[in-house]
Every structure is written in C-alpha cells, then in structure tokens.
Amino acid sequence: MALTKEELEEVLEELRSHRGRHTELITVYIPAGYDVNSVQKQLEAEKSTAKNIKSTSTRKNVIDALEKIVRYLKTFKKTPENGMAIFCGNVSKVEGQSDLQLWGIEPPLPLKSRLYRCDKEFVLGPLEEMAEVSEVFGLLVMDRKEATIGLLEGKRIEVLHKMTSGIPSKIRAGGQSSQRFHRITEGMTKEFYKRVAEEMKKIFFDMDKLKGILVGGPIPTKDEFLDGEYLVTKLREKVIARKDLGDSGETGLKELVEKSQDVLAEQEIVKEKKILRRFFETLGKNPEQAILELDNVREVLKYGAVEVLLLSKRLDKEIFKELAKEAEKYGAVVEVISTDTEEGLQFYNLGGVGAILRFKI
C-alpha cells in the first residue's frame, strides 16, 4: 500500500539517520510499471560482483543485504502501482556487530527513477522531492517555432511534450509575395496555437492535482496564445503566471520555474490562508461544526465525523501520525498547516489540532 506524504517523511527521517562504515548501504529504485523479476536477476548478478570486494566485513554485509532484498522481492508477483524503493544494509552502530535492516516502500506518487547503488548513505533524493509535492503545476514555454509542455512536481521538472510549428523563418521576395507569405505564416501560427492548446487539454484537463499553469515566451507569442482564447476555459482560468522568456525548450521550462518562484510561494500561502479562514469562520459562526483541541478531535474522529483535519507542521510527530491515520480511515482530508503565516502561527498556539465536521456530534 502506498505511503502517505506524512508517512514518507517519517521513513525518510529514519533513513537519514543511518550511515554505513563503508559503502555497504544498498538503495534500489524500481519505477512504476517495471518488471520486478528483471530487478531480481540484476541483484543476483550484483552478488557475483560483490565477491570481489577486498574487505571481508564489507563483502559480507553487501552480499547479505543483496540476498535479503532478493528474498523480499520474491514475495511480489508484480511491481506495486507506484513502483517501489528498497533500502537495506547493516545499520549497527557497533563495530563488528550486525544489524541488517530492510525498508520496502511504495511511494505516494509514481516512481520514475531506476537505480541500484551501494554507498555509505541511502540515496533519498527522488523520495525527498515527492515528500514536498502536494500539487503539481503545468508548464508551457513557446514561441512561433516551437513549444515545450512540462510539469513541475515539487522541485522536479519533467518534459511531457515538444512541438514544432513548421513555420519558415524568412522570405526574400517583396511585394505581393511578402504579403502572401505573411498571410500563410499567420494561418500556420494560428494552427500551431490550436495544436498546442489541444495537447495541453489532453495532458492537463483531467489532472486532479493540477494547481495552476505557468506560461512563458516572447512578449507577442505567449500573449497572442493566451489572449486569443485558444485554451479551453477550465485551463485558461488555471494560468497563474505569464513570464517573458526567450527560450522555448527544456532550459526555458527551468527559467520559467525560476522566474515564477514568487507566484508559487504565494499560491501555498493563499491555499493555507483559505483553509484557516474557513476553519475560524466555522468555529465562530457555527461552533458545533468545527472542533479545537486534541482530545475533542480524537473523539470526533472515532465517529467518522471529520471532513477536514487540520494539523500543524510543528505538532508532535507521534500525535500527527496517529491523527492522520485515523482520518484516512474515514476518507477525511488532512491539511498540514505551516507556521509561516500569522494565521498558521495562531492555529499552532491554539494547540495545532482542529477539524471541520461533516455532521454535528
């Protein structure tokens, strides 16, 4: 079963605390949809390579860890839906003693990395990026020649689709030929815009986690595209930033994200303020529909009465985990509240636990 973001953060914290004496901590990433049997065969082959390790203790620890992972993988008929990450090694703090531990994780989002690594530390980068992702943002950079559509998940930028317009650059002839060329290129440009809009509809229209769309390009092009209403209304309303850029390729996506940091930060703040405003308004106007304090929230969770559970990021980790798990049993939405805003700090000072109810208790 896939971990929640909160559970993933907890596992990551534990994994960060372990460090091998030598390069004997093993990390294996299996992408979503990848054949688990192929990974078993690869790891069996790695055991032969590990026999060449000079240090007796390191050799033993690596081979033992590989064997433990292979045994673990044999319990799976196929790779879990989101792929899996496996961490295994001797994590004993005492020289000469063995404490061989294995963690098998199905992440909250599809894993796209394939990796096998022996090191002094576990490789956690791809999972750490996932732990930051609660929403995703659509990206588009374009000029009249090409367009690149991408996705921002946490800090990771993924290229989804590249398109070219086929519009020629210049024409030397003057007079009517030049005017005719202009008419042709304008027609091709409009067709290109329509194709870009259609592709964005295919990719983004039904994407539940899509928080917003960022668009970049030269001043006339991106504005012609957006103001010309080529995009369907639902996607046009999700455009939260348009930035002047010169690059319409993969590096343009990176530049677009860099130039939009202020907008992205503001989105998180706006979302948090909106949730807290709803909570405090309910608490003031209809106190039977909103609950504060830990014991009260525990009680209403037992009845499955919670619609939205609000937990401060600074809440005790054990309490956080306990309440989040209970909420998920009944399909409640769990909202993590930072203390970066005045409202978030106020909520933390009031105990850092609150709930909006589906029905009165």
Q: How far apart (Å, rounded) are the C-alpha atoms in residues 252 and 225?
A: 17
Does domain 269-357 fall under CATH 3.40.50.1100? My reply is no
Which tokens go with 309? 């559970």
**pTM higher than the cut 0.85:** no
CATH class of this structure's domain 136-259 = alpha beta
Tell me the C-alpha distance between 109 and 97, whole Å. 36
Q: What is the pLDDT along the chain (361 residues), one digit of tens a residue?
A: 778 777 888 899 899 999 888 889 999 999 989 999 999 999 999 988 888 888 888 899 999 999 999 999 999 989 999 999 999 999 988 877 889 999 999 998 889 889 999 999 999 988 888 877 667 899 999 998 999 999 988 777 889 999 998 877 665 545 557 777 778 788 888 999 999 999 999 999 998 889 899 999 998 889 999 999 899 999 999 999 999 998 888 999 999 999 998 888 777 777 888 899 999 999 999 999 999 999 999 999 999 999 999 999 889 888 988 998 889 888 888 898 988 778 889 999 999 999 999 988 7
Q: Closest Cα to residue 151, out of 136, 161, 141? A: 136
**Is residue 335 a contact partner of residue 358, using CB atoms and an 8 Å limit?**
no
Domain ranges of the chain: 5-132, 136-259, 269-357
CA distance 120 to 141: 40
* CATH placement of domain 5-132: 3.30.960.10
- Residue-wise pLDDT tens digits, 63-85: 999 999 999 999 998 999 999 99
Task: Give the whole-angstrom CA distance, residue 313 versus residue 348.
Answer: 9
Could you tell me the end-to-end alpha-carbon distance of the chain, in angstroms, rounded to an integer? 32
| Alpha helices, H only, 205-237 | 219-227, 233-236
CA distance 298 to 355: 10
Beta-carbon neighbour count of residue 168 at 10 Å? 11
Asked whether the beta carbons of 346 and 291 are under 8 A apart, the reply is no
Read off the pLDDT of residues 251-304 as tens digits, 9 standing for 90 and up.
999 999 999 988 887 777 778 888 999 999 999 999 999 999 999 999 999 999
List CB contacts of 301: < 8 A, sequence separation 6 or more. Answer: 309, 323, 326, 327, 330, 332, 355
Q: Do domains 136-259 and 269-357 have the same CATH topology?
A: no
